[in-house]
Amino acid sequence: MSIERADVIVTSPGRNFVTLKITTSDGVVGWGDATLNGRELAVASYLGDHVASMLIGRDEDRIEDTWQYLYRGPYWRRGPVTMAAIAAVDMALWDIKAKKAGVPLYQLLGGASRSGIRAYAHASGTDYQALANAITGYQELGFTAVRVQTGVPGLGQVYGVSAAGPGVRYDYEPAKRAADGSAATAPTEESWDTAGYLAHMPGVFERIRADFGTGLRILHDGHHRMSPIEAARFAKDIEPYKLFWLEDCTPGEDQTALRLVRQHSTTPLAIGEVFNSVYDYQTLITERLIDYVRSAVTHTGGITAMKKLLDFAAIYGIRSGIHGPTDISPIGMAAALHLDLAIHNFGIQEYMPHNEQTLEVFQTSFTFDDGFLHPGEQPGLGVELDEDAAAAFEYTKAYLPVNRLTDGTVHDW
């Protein structure tokens, strides 16, 4: 048997997704997620124009060999576009292998190491009361861990904070279409003030601890906005509130920045959602500069590469915190859940439920119950894409916003 077809499907059920469908000569179908938020068509072209023809006739069982062929073969290695494309091929081949074996994928990764996958939700609000209401709402759903993001006095819309108002569940969709829902032509711009943020946030964590007690796992995302010394001071300032993690405190591309933060604080650190290779972590892991690996399976070369990355992290006592916002499709999410269940050094899983339109296109078998996710027992990844439903949602260009400091300088997210 061999790979007979490789088709790229782009759909936009409220947001854009790129999916690879691999079909074998005996009709087994495997699915892979290749969604790269705001740059979707670059990956669709990489797959459709350059990779698809290389797959035809290959043995679908040779997953490691295909991974190395796609990674080393083209001369140009790494990068988010390449690694998202390789990830999609890899996921689809694992999906096929597990379907052929008649087992859920986690069984091929070593079997279950736990009964459920602790998930964290995104709680946010423009002011403290709205944030507290959101936390309460997620606790009522069973979550024991929440990421908290809130507005900063003096600033307008802040990245990662819902403007929807108290009590409304936040669908995390920072990539914006035009105001009327049509294709965007350029990113929106938001303003940012690091000093105001640094002055405001410790008081927010203090109130959360006072109101919600010590049992709640509190996570926070710095979205790469601090300089190394700002991040070091912030991580130290918030130590009394014992966060589960502080994510992306400094821009991800500078691994040595984390040395400075680490020297000054015991606040646990998480980073990696914009990484695409184990080499992005080499210094961070071997020098124990982080506590959680935040890569997405979709952006890091798939299940084959993530398993190796997480095994490497395990040697240094570093745990997983796999990226799981809504720009990871249900296929990418399922891949994360199978890994989460199987690996020993699982930490926590991000969970942003997809909207109803997305779940019409992607039929999932994973479950959420009382704070814990499970990938389900369906053979393969456990997600099938409905091509008729997908065809009803035309690609609509959307961009992540650009941040500017109050003097107009372009800043990180």
Exposed/middle/buried for 45, CB within 10 Å: 0-12, 13-18, 19+? middle
Cβ(352)–Cβ(333) below 8 Å: no
Chain residue at closest Cβ approach to Mg ion: 221
| Contact of residue 177 among ligand KDG, Mg ion, none (CB under 5-8 Å per partner type) | none
280 touches Mg ion by CB under 5 A: no
Q: Binding ligand KDG by CB under 6 A: which of 125, 252, 325, 382?
A: 325
Contact 163, 126 (CB under 8 A): yes
Is the Cβ of residue 327 or residue 384 nearer to ligand KDG in the bound state? 327
Instruction: State the minimum distance, in angstroms, from the CB of residue 223 to ligand KDG.
Output: 6
Rg (CA), the chain: 21
Q: Is residue 273 a contact residue for ligand KDG (CB under 6 A)?
A: yes
Pairing verdict, β 29-33 and 145-150: unpaired
Tell me the closest approach of the beta carbon of residue 176 to Mg ion, in angstroms: 17
CB of 6 to ligand KDG, least distance (A): 25
The residue from 16, 35, 37, 304 that contacts ligand KDG (CB under 6 A) is: 37
Could you give the 3-state DSSP secondary structure of residue 86?
helix
Residue among 46, 106, 122, 223 flagged as catalytic: 223
Backbone phi and psi for residue 125, each to the nearest 5 degrees, phi listed first: -170, 150
Q: Which two tokens stand for residue 324?
A: 């799981």
Indicate whether 90 belongs to the interface with Mg ion (CB under 5 A).
Answer: no
Tokens of 109: 């990764």
Q: Is 138 a catalytic residue?
A: no
Minimum CB distance to ligand KDG smaller for 175 or for 238: 175
Residue 325 binding: pick among Mg ion, ligand KDG, none (C-beta 5-8 Å cut-off by kind): ligand KDG
Q: Where are the alpha helices (DSSP H) in 216-326?
A: 228-237, 257-264, 282-286, 302-315
Task: Specify whether 344 is catalytic.
Answer: no
Query: Where are the extended beta strands (E) located within 184-324?
Result: 189-192, 217-221, 245-247, 269-271, 292-293, 319-320
What mask, x for binding Mg ion by CB under 5 A, covers residues 308 to 327?
--------------------
Among candidate residues 128, 159, 316, 395, the one labeled active-site is 159
Phi, psi (degrees; rounded to nearest 5) at 406: -65, -15
Question: C-beta of 261: minimal distance to ligand KDG in Å?
Answer: 18
Nearer to ligand KDG among residue 13 and residue 174 (C-beta): 174
Q: Establish if 350 lies at the interface with ligand KDG (CB under 6 A).
A: yes
Name residue, tokens 């469908």. Answer: 21
Q: How far apart are CA 242 and CA 217, in angstroms?
A: 9
List beta partners, residue 120: 350
Using CB under 6 A, which of 80, 104, 125, 174 touches ligand KDG?
A: 174
Phi/psi at 226 (5° precision) = -105, 150
Looking only at residues 168 through 227 of this chain, which bind Mg ion when binding is defined by CB under 5 A? 221
- When asked if residue 327 is in the footprint of ligand KDG (CB under 6 A), the reply is yes
Which of 272, 341, 274 shows the shortest CA–CA distance to 313? 272
Distance CA 120, CA 118 (A): 7
Residue in 384, 372, 292 with CA at minimum distance from that of residue 92:
384
User: What is the footprint of ligand KDG within residues 187-226 (CB under 6 A)?
Assistant: 221
Residue with smaller CB distance to ligand KDG, 29 or 400: 400
Using the contact rule CB under 6 A, the part of the chain among 25-33, 235-243, 278-286, 319-327 near ligand KDG is: 319-327
CB nearer to ligand KDG: pick between 99 and 224? 224
193: partner contacted, choices ligand KDG, Mg ion, none (Cβ within 5-8 A by kind): none
**Helix (H/G/I), strand (E/B), else coil: 117:** strand
Give me the residues that bind ligand KDG (CB under 6 A), please: 37, 174, 221, 273, 323, 325, 327, 350, 400
What residues act catalytically? Answer: 159, 223
Give me the residues that bind Mg ion (CB under 5 A), please: 221, 273
